[in-house]
Amino acid sequence: MAELRHSGSAGSRSSSSPLRVGDEDSSSPHVHDHSPNGGDDEDGQRPPRNRPIWSVSGLHSLFPFLGGDDPRVSPQKNKISILLILILAVVSLISVYGIVNHLNAPYLCKKDGIVLNCPHVKESPSPWENPLSATTSWKPCAERRIGGVSDLLPENETNGYVFIHAEGGLNQQRIAICNAVAVAKIMNATLILPVLKQDQIWKDQTKFEDIFDVDHFIDYLKDDVRIVRDIPDWFTDKTELFSSIRRTVKNIPKYAAAQFYIDNVLPRIKEKKIMALKPFVDRLGYDNVPQEINRLRCRVNYHALKFLPEIEQMADSLVSRMRNRTGNPIPYMALHLRFEKGMVGLSFCDFVGTREEKARMAEYRQKEWPRRFKNGSHLWQLALQKRKEGRCPLEPGEVAVILRAMGYPKETQIYVASGQVYGGQNRMAPLRNMFPNLVTKEDLAGKEELASFRKHVTSLAALDFLVCLKSDVFVMTHGGNFAKLIIGARRYMGHRQKSIKPDKGLMSKSFGDPYMGWATFVEDVVVTHQTRTGLPEETFPNYDLWENPLTPCMCKA
């Protein structure tokens, strides 16, 4: 853990010795000149008072070691001393310039492997505050251009129409919609309002207009991309667009470059006039597309895609109830707990449990992922390796210990966004014992209030999304689009509130050390996470735009 400690924390303490009794300060008005001539020089004349310090005699008075007219000091030593003074002056100027430049620079953490190095700032005594955010000077800059001139070509000059299915859950669909707008812009094509494909797990049949404000979406992007609500009337066989391979582009690689669409997809759109892109999950890269296209994706994500007013209002009501559960306004934490059976099984990690539980999980994995399971003999080593690399979901009990080490008290109000936790109440018991004020949307709202939202599972997911987004502290326990989008949005909108991303790899070492005391564990947790609070980070090749929108979407304030 030594390499994680803040570079400035050890050197920030300085001390100065007070003047001791009996020491004389030459600048004090009470110190008298006791020379026999009352302060005159040897010739009985007072030296000139306005002697410039840059004169030779002035330098001699400031730096007595130069020797002055003392014949005992050689001219060679004088030259060396003056040279040292000049070097000291140059170094001082460089240091002052560096300090001023550092103070005026925007806050930016830099990664060194898994270590995140940030400027040292005095830590706040409150775990609810994000002290490092005070040093930031980044602001959102992906809004639409007010009063700008649209660069869209006339409708009759469009290259064709693009149609996509947004697959997966709500957050994967959100990313697909952002990418669809970007791809339409790249090819100067018209985008048909994306269809939200039925989720295979939740069996949800939500339409775009059931979850998002369509009018706002189209109007906000009207100067960037032309968007139509439905397939044009002149295209009579609409079923062909869903089923015919002649109307589908299927060879798009993951994280494709913008040039790939221009070279391979655009010619087919020009020929057929309407084409579907399928599949479309993660089919547009990040660092291989123009920056203005990435900025457009942020514009869609943070400004154009708005939930329906009734969803926003219900979420605001839940937030208000969280803040006033004790009768007085208090902060609350939102915890995204990823420990559903499917997530546990897919991770192929080993977790605490009885032999019967482990046997049932092995059967489940063999049934769902037979190719990865094989005969199961290699899974133990794989599980250990994944845990060391921080690729295993945190258990509820591990989350509880980390939060307590960070300084959150037992009375903390925690909103839990989660599916059905694997292991049920037994698995949740350690977390609930340490933090009894765990609540969900079902605890905050009655069945009647949530009845209209139960028609669409994505509506319930949208409520969780908004309550987590507006929390005072957000804590993720595993990867996924939900957590990425939440942390990215909080960074983009101001990064003033904490978004904690536990370092699971380093925490696994601490959890696995039977000789580590509580005080040492607390120190490790605090030092490890003092900069993992959701601040903008320097981007790197193949970075994830949704989690860290700094480079293309934010600018210096």
Asked whether residue 68 is domain-assigned, the answer is no
> What is the DSSP secondary-structure string of 177-200?
HHHHHHHHHHTT-EEEPPEEPPPT
Strands 333-336 and 248-249 come out as unpaired
Q: What are the pLDDT digits (tens) for 58-77?
A: 545 544 544 555 555 566 66
Asked whether residue 40 is domain-assigned, the answer is no
Answer with the one of 304, 338, 366 that is the final residue of a domain.
304
What pLDDT, on the 0 to 100 scale, is given for residue 540? 66
Q: Which of 35-49, 314-328, 379-393 has the lowest mean pLDDT?
A: 35-49
Mean pLDDT of 532-547: 78
> What is the DSSP secondary-structure string of 383-427?
HHHHHHTT-SPPPHHHHHHHHHHTT--TT--EEEE-SPBTTHHHH
Phi, psi (degrees; rounded to nearest 5) at 10: -80, -30
Residues 426 and 333 occupy one common structural domain:
yes
Residues 330 and 202 occupy one common structural domain:
no
Q: Is 228 helix (H, G, I), strand (E, B) or coil?
A: strand
Asked whether residue 507 is domain-assigned, the answer is yes
Q: Is 116 helix (H, G, I), strand (E, B) or coil?
A: strand
Residues 283 and 387 occupy one common structural domain:
no
Report whether 391 contacts 347 (CB < 8 A).
yes
CATH for 296 = 3.40.50
Closest CA to 342 of 469, 539, 450, 480: 480
Run of H or E residues at 357: helix 355-368
Residues 354 and 280 occupy one common structural domain:
no
Range(s) of the domain holding residue 523: 309-556
Q: What share of the chain is helix, strand, coil (3-state, %, to 5)?
A: 45, 10, 45
Residues 351 and 487 occupy one common structural domain:
yes
Answer with the one of 283, 304, 325 that is the final residue of a domain.
304
Residues 513 and 428 occupy one common structural domain:
yes
Q: Is the pLDDT of residue 180 over 60?
A: yes
What pLDDT, on the 0 to 100 scale, is given for residue 152? 78
Mean pLDDT of 308-315: 97
- The C-alpha atoms of residue 521 and residue 474 are separated, in whole angstroms, by 22
Q: What are the pLDDT digits (tens) for 142-155?
A: 998 776 667 777 77
Q: Model-level pTM?
A: 0.77
Asked whether residue 81 is domain-assigned, the answer is no
387 phi-psi bin (left φ>0, alpha ψ -120 to 50, beta other): alpha
Residues 289 and 361 occupy one common structural domain:
no
Mean pLDDT of 4-9: 38
Q: What are the pLDDT digits (tens) for 423-464?
A: 999 999 999 999 999 999 999 999 999 999 988 889 999 999
Phi, psi (degrees; rounded to nearest 5) at 409: -80, 170
C-alpha distances (whole Å) from 421 to each of 334, 416, 536 are: 16, 11, 32
Q: What are the pLDDT digits (tens) for 223-241?
A: 999 999 998 888 877 777 7
What pLDDT, on the 0 to 100 scale, is given for residue 100? 53
Residues 261 and 314 occupy one common structural domain:
no
Rg (CA), the chain: 32
Residues 196 and 183 occupy one common structural domain:
yes
Answer with the one of 285, 304, 323 that is the final residue of a domain.
304
Higher-confidence residue of 353 and 301: namely 301
- The C-alpha atoms of residue 383 and residue 218 are separated, in whole angstroms, by 47
Asked whether residue 210 is domain-assigned, the answer is yes
Name the domain count of the chain: 2
- The C-alpha atoms of residue 178 and residue 473 are separated, in whole angstroms, by 26
Mean pLDDT of the chain: 81
Mean pLDDT of 381-408: 92
Mean pLDDT of 271-279: 92
Mean pLDDT of 297-321: 97
Asked whether residue 482 is domain-assigned, the answer is yes
Residues 300 and 313 occupy one common structural domain:
no
- The C-alpha atoms of residue 553 and residue 383 are separated, in whole angstroms, by 38
Q: Cis link prior to 18 (omega < 30° from 0)?
A: no
Residues 468 and 337 occupy one common structural domain:
yes
Structure tokens, 239: 């079923």
Asked whether residue 283 is domain-assigned, the answer is yes
Residues 377 and 458 occupy one common structural domain:
yes
- The C-alpha atoms of residue 192 and residue 164 are separated, in whole angstroms, by 8
Q: What is the 3-state secondary structure (H, E, C) of 318-356?
A: HHHHHHCCCCCCCCCEEEECCCEHHHHHHHCCCCCCCHH
Asked whether residue 9 is domain-assigned, the answer is no
Closest CA to 525 of 130, 78, 3, 4: 4
